Structure 1
């Protein structure tokens, strides 16, 4: 089959109209500001995050707020990693009201959650630097 110039031009025009996938900016550990403890939706401090500065006995009222995977999802039982830019020890607990297994973060520590991976219900800030 022989292509005519009109047919070739039409095919090229159609190819140019094909939408491209836009990439969504993801949060990273560097997005967690000083004096904040940040939960991340994905492992390795990726996806949407929530920045906290005080204790929370129940994380059900908190959501991931930044752009990225998980934005708008409840932090409770959905966080996979965290970073601490808080000059004190921060403990993430499996249960509400600061009980059960926990993960502990020191100042400037970033890590995947281990004991509370996608099963995190409360967070407590303790001590001083």
Structure 2
């Protein structure tokens, strides 16, 4: 019985993910789905109300020569266009897309002011949030 318990504990430990170190699933392919504004290339990031880049879409554009930094997503809402329209972006995002220039990484943080567990997306990729699924409070992009 003790061997079974040890094997179970080892299996659980093998699947555990250290918070802030991974993005559960991302795709750098060309299938952007029916997302509208985030389909076109440009300097922007997108957060989605639902998984798989579905539902209402929040888009933030980078200024010329600047990255995107939002230390607190409070006060931002999803504009019209699908499930989640009118809902707060903070703690309501299930997936994201990074349409920034090559070499720019998007980080989504659990807490405000860029702290706590995080998910990341390299430029040109998109995917479901894992560590910050529906518990996202700030975003930051580094180039």
> Would you say same fold, with TM above 0.5?
yes
1:63 aligns with 2:77: yes
Runs of at least 5 residues in structure 2 that lack an aligned partner in the other structure: 1-32, 62-67
Equivalent residue for 1:72, pick from 80, 86, 95: 86
CA distance in 1 between counterparts of 2:60 and 2:128 reads: 17
CA distance in 2 between counterparts of 1:126 and 1:63 reads: 24
Normalised by the length of structure 2, the TM-score is 0.67
Aligned equivalent of 2:52: 44
Normalised by the length of structure 1, the TM-score is 0.74
- Give the match's secondary structure for 1:31: helix
Does the CA-based 8 Å contact 1:50-1:66 persist in structure 2? no
Aligned equivalent of 1:28: 34
Aligned equivalent of 1:126: 142
Runs of at least 5 residues in structure 1 that lack an aligned partner in the other structure: 1-26
Does the CA-based 8 Å contact 2:35-2:57 persist in structure 1? no
Does the CA-based 8 Å contact 1:91-1:102 persist in structure 2? yes
Q: Displacement of 1:30 after TM fit?
A: 5.0
Q: Displacement of 1:31 after TM fit?
A: 3.2
Moved more, 63-72 or 77-86: 63-72
- Give the match's secondary structure for 1:48: strand
Q: Which has the greater radius of gyration?
A: 1
- Give the match's secondary structure for 1:104: strand
Q: Give the total of aligned pairs.
A: 101
Aligned equivalent of 2:29: none
Where do 4+ consecutive residues of structure 1 move more than 2 Å?
A: 27-31
1:95 aligns with 2:95: no
- Aligned pairs for 1:103-122 (under 5 A) are 103-122=119-138
Does the CA-based 8 Å contact 1:61-1:74 persist in structure 2? yes
